[in-house]
Amino acid sequence: MNSPARHAPNLLFPIVDDCLQIGGMPLTRLAERAGSTPFYAYDRRLITERVAQLRAALPPDIHLHYAIKANPMPAVVQHLAGLVDGFDVASVGELKTVLDTSMPPDNISFAGPGKTETALRQAAAAGIVVNLESEREMEILAQVGASLGLRPKAAVRVNPDFELKSSGMKMGGGPKQFGVDAERVPAMLQRMKDLPVEFYGFHIFSGSQNLRAEAIMEAQRNTFDLARRLSANAPGPVKLLNLGGGFGIPYFPGEQPLDLDAVGEHLAGLMPDARLNFPEAEFVIELGRYLVGEAGIYVSRVIERKVSRGQVFLITDGGLHHHLAASGNFGQVIRKNYPVVVGNRVAPEGAAELASVVGPLCTPLDVLADKMALGHAREGDLIVVLQSGAYGLTASPTVFLGHPAPGEVLV
């Protein structure tokens, strides 16, 4: 019989005397600092290191953008403002967060379907790049720009005629609510020639949470090809070519980290042609999860240790209302466990017991770990969900059942 698949080992947070260390301090002390459980904690050093790894692996003229929907905590966004080359936002709320940072508006882009006239007007006034998701958005952007006496910066988000294979979430290829179908883009660009907008380039984002380097390489190759074909009809030179992202992180048993060096080397091989084909372009990779996902943890406290017909349940003060993704209800087809540990009692191999971690909500969906091998937890112990820096708090139904909201700290 094969041994069951395991989670990729936790290499980011050291363990001292069976206690996880976050930002250089024991988890137990961090919990005191935070003042109450549950809370999210993000380790700024790990975010900084992740950016450095990307810089080292990717060609030097690839600009790195942070898609803030992965983690819009203002302190995290402020920290990243000094590290990355730009921000991508997908709402006016996110736009406000990034405009409060030092990031120049030229390096901010705004994607997302269904932008309202008000949103487009704010974006035009802010001087950021709008990734147009439809012909309608283009017409309105031109109108609001004219009424403000501005020439708004417009890139076309293209729904490509290919997919990012084996992605956690496909966001391009086939019929999609995102972007403009590639085959409609030439006519749209023709129309843009008559409008008072400044053509900036293309945004081609095909998918998310991908751990297969070959799939990402193939998508990047296809993206350059598509952009080259589309640029033949463009109203001006391509100044911005956003290649998307899609870099994934390992969450579940059996998953291995993305081979970043392979992606970087392949991209380096594509760059000479890209520079020839788009001599005025800035090349951008936009990442959310990959920048922050592994730097964050979610911490809750065991309220009660309950045994039901032989099965151990650790009932905590946190649950799916704070961390929907860990409960398996944010895009998973078959529920799998996130990496979870008893943070102040990380069990050495073999000293574990099988236990389920659940929250206080009156629904059987409120499960953070289903029958996992964990350190033998007592009431008052701290349960840690790793890989929680992205799509955690703001991707969760915090008002469901009326429990208090969790804290958030950047350490």
Ligand X SMILES: *Cc1c(COP(=O)(O)O)cnc(C)c1O
Segment contacting ligand X by CB under 6 A, of 72-80, 141-149, 203-211, 264-272: 203-211
Is residue 381 close enough to count as binding ligand X by CB under 6 A? no
Q: How far is CA 98 from CA 11, 237, 252, in A?
A: 31, 27, 32
Nearest to 227 by CA among 192, 291, 190, 275: 275
Residue among 313, 360, 310, 368 nearest 337 (CA): 368
Tell me how far, at minimum, the Cβ of 323 lies from ligand X, in Å.
16
**Residue 70 interacts with ligand X (CB under 6 A)?**
yes
Both tokens of residue 93?
């709320």
Query: Looking at 14-22, 148-156, 202-210, 310-318, which segment touches ligand X (CB under 6 A)?
Result: 202-210
- Tokens 């005191």 correspond to 32
Contact 342, 372 (CB under 8 A): no
Q: Is 155 in the site for ligand X (CB under 6 A)?
A: no
389 counts as binding ligand X under rule CB under 6 A: no
Nearer to ligand X, 163 or 286 (CB): 286
Residue 244 vs 328, nearer CB to ligand X = 244
Q: How far is the CB of 82 from ligand X (least distance, A)?
A: 20
Q: Single out the residue of 241, 208, 210 nearest to residue 227, CA to CA.
A: 241
What is the spatial distance between Cα 88 and Cα 107, in angstroms, rounded to a whole number? 8
Instruction: Give the number of residues in contact with ligand X, rule: CB under 6 A.
Output: 16
> Comparing C-alpha atoms, which of 223, 290, 209 is closest to residue 252?
209
Question: Residue 163, interface with ligand X (CB under 6 A)?
Answer: no
According to the binding rule CB under 6 A, does residue 142 interact with ligand X?
A: no
Nearest partner of 196 among 131, 139, 241, judged by Cα: 139
Nearest to ligand X of 226, 287 (CB atom): 287
Q: 244: alpha, beta or left, given left = phi > 0 and alpha = psi -120 to 50?
A: left
Tell which residue, 233, 235, 258, has the closest CA to residue 247.
258
Per rule CB under 6 A, is residue 107 in the interface with ligand X? no
162, 290, 298, 338: which one binds ligand X (CB under 6 A): 290
Q: CB-wise, 70 or 241, nearer to ligand X?
A: 70
Pick the piece of the chain touching ligand X (CB under 6 A) from 51-59, 66-74, 216-224, 395-403: 66-74
Could you say whether residue 90 binds ligand X (CB under 6 A)?
yes
- Catalytic residue set: 362
Among 209, 231, 356, 396, binds ligand X (CB under 6 A): 209
- Verify binding: residue 156, ligand X, rule CB under 6 A: no
Residue 208 binds ligand X (CB under 6 A): yes
Among residues 287, 299, 325, 409, the one that binds ligand X under rule CB under 6 A: 287
Q: Least separation, in Å, of the C-beta of 244 and ligand X?
A: 7
What residue ranges in 61-219 does DSSP mark as E strands?
A: 62-67, 86-89, 108-110, 129-132, 153-159, 169-170, 180-181, 198-203, 207-208
Which tokens hold the place of 164? 């990012």
With contacts defined by CB under 6 A, name the span among 38-46, 64-72, 116-124, 392-400 that binds ligand X.
64-72
Told to check if 288 binds ligand X by CB under 6 A, we report yes
- Cβ 247 to ligand X shortest distance, Å: 6
Smallest distance, Å, CB 93 to ligand X?
15
Candidates 28, 27, 22, 30; CA nearest to 47 is 22
Distance CA 256, CA 213 (A): 11
Give me the count of residues in the chain.
411
Does residue number 132 form part of the binding site for ligand X (CB under 6 A)?
no
Among positions 86, 172, 173, 245, the unique one binding ligand X when judged by CB under 6 A:
245
Does 88 participate in binding ligand X (rule CB under 6 A)?
yes
CB of 40 to ligand X, least distance (A): 16
- Supply φ then ψ for residue 2, to 5 degrees: -70, 145
**Tokens at 14, concatenated:** 């050291």
284 binds ligand X (CB under 6 A): no
The answer to whether the CB of 20 falls within 8 A of the CB of 12 is no
Interface with ligand X (CB under 6 A):
67, 69-70, 88, 90, 111, 205, 208-209, 245, 286-290, 390
